[in-house]
Chain A
Amino acid sequence: MKGNSYLSRKIHSLLGVIPLGLFIIEHMITNYSAYEEGAQGFKDSVKFLNDLPLVFFLELFGIWLPLLFHGVYGLYVAYQSNLNTGRFQYGRNWFFTLQRISGVITFIFIFWHLYQTRLQVMLGNVTHEELGNQMHSITTNGFYFVFYVIGIIAATFHFSNGMWAFLVSWGITIGPRAQRISSYIFMGVFVIVALLFLLSLTAFRGDEFKEAASAALQMTNLV
């Protein structure tokens, strides 16, 4: 089965939910600790994650590789579509278009977000304990704050609408009624997940995350 786009597309679809969908929920919960429990709570959550057994492999197989495949193949999927919302202004067609646009925005956003946070940790410019401060400096910069708000909305929409499409593509929601109800549910999910992420984003702007801004920031905050 050489070059079988059926299998690649199925893997792309599956990875979007397991592990990436699970990860986005986990990420939301971790970040929310910044809103609910403040700087120390966030530090504890980050520490908890880093204390997980085999954290290196968890990250590699649970985040890095799936993200790379889903992202790169996703760009190819977007390239393969002729967006035609001009001619066919139907609701689902808009969602189809938005799914592709939000995917591309999410790709850029995640790339930059990883560079500013995870990569700086990897390079030794920031420690895990300083991630809160790092986020403080990012979110207090007007340009990055807006960039992050857009990125979060795009990513959470892509996740929620992607869940809807996943249920169709694997033949779980079949009839129009099932698909309609599922679309209501996942739009609800979108609102909740986006809101929780945005709340934590504003929480990072609080003074308690200030402390000493790390040197890495001067490097990553280009604007």
Chain B
Amino acid sequence: MAETAVATKTVKLVITRQDAPDSAPYTEEFEVPYRANMNVISALMEIQRNPKKVDGQKTAPVCWESNCLEEVCGACSMVINGKPRQACSSLIDQLEQPVRLAPMKTFPVVRDLVINRERMFNALKRVKAWIPIDGTYDLGPGPRMAETKRQWAYELSKCMTCGVCLESCPNVNDRNSFIGPAAISQVRLFNAHPTGEMNKEERLEALMEDGGIEGCGNSQNCVRSCPKGIPLTTSIAAINKDTTKHLFKKWLGM
């Protein structure tokens, strides 16, 4: 408004809320005071401080999850203006308003924007995404990893189990048992490690069971969505090659 001497800038938000895991979702609109360099988390903190809807009515503060605030923990993933991404690295200045926030519905919603990513951690357990080095005696040093290999493997190790790739995948849903892209890429990471490689068949076999790698239908949304730029489709194709080889080896009894 032209006549107002100091126009207070605000941020408009439309948030999809849900009170309990199985209650119906609804939306509420908020308007919070603008500050320079705000991100979605600080906008949510503003609502927490003063939980009033745009019409002035009081409401329960909006729930969300966050930890690192620097896009390395993956806890704050949500759907922001239609795309799944991290709330902490989504700057208000770069978002179209009203900013629409919704939970990543591929996962069970706990409350409001909080989701349960347990299926991803279960997937990592299922494919044994670790390097077994425990023993009853000192096993001594393992083989060295070539520096060139370490460099590309490092890219894969950036995965923060944020769930964005599962949210964008058309084949991760309740009619489909697909494990999702992230765990497949982790199999590639741990199979590339000189010590991890010693158990590579176990990881491949975990992906050759019901709901394994075959669920990938090549929509390639994951690689376009991953905030860490992980080459997920390359990982999937590489593991396709390894599982195919393993399949034939097993058939031929080698």
Contacts and interface: CB of A to CB of B under 8 A. Distances in A.
B103 interface: no
Contact of A174 (B225, B234, B245): B234
Contacts, number: 109
Interface stretch (B51-59, B92-100, B172-180, B195-203): B172-180
Given A81-B176, A88-B225, A93-B221, A5 B242 contact: no
Contacts of B108: none
A165 B215 CA distance: 13
Contact of A168 (B170, B224, B237, B243): B237
A171 B225 contact: no
A55 to B, nearest CB: 30
Interface in A163-207: 165, 168-176, 179
A222 to B, nearest CB: 34
Interface residues of A, number: 34
B210 A6 contact: yes
A77 to B, nearest CB: 7
Contacts of B233: 168, 176, 179
A102 to B, nearest CB: 14
A82 B214 contact: no
B209 A87 contact: no
Given A10-B247, A93-B221, A84 B240 contact: no
A92 interface: yes
Contact of B240 (A87, A90, A168): A168
B44 to A, nearest CB: 22
B238 interface: yes
A169 B175 contact: no
Contact of B234 (A5, A170, A176): A176
Interface of B: 82-83, 168, 170-171, 173, 175-177, 207-221, 224-225, 231, 233-234, 236-245, 247
Q: Which 10 A-B pairs have the closest CB atoms?
A: A171-B241, A96-B219, A9-B214, A171-B240, A92-B220, A174-B237, A80-B176, A93-B219, A6-B214, A82-B173
8 contacts: A4-B209, A6-B210, A9-B214, A87-B83, A90-B219, A168-B240, A171-B237, A176-B233
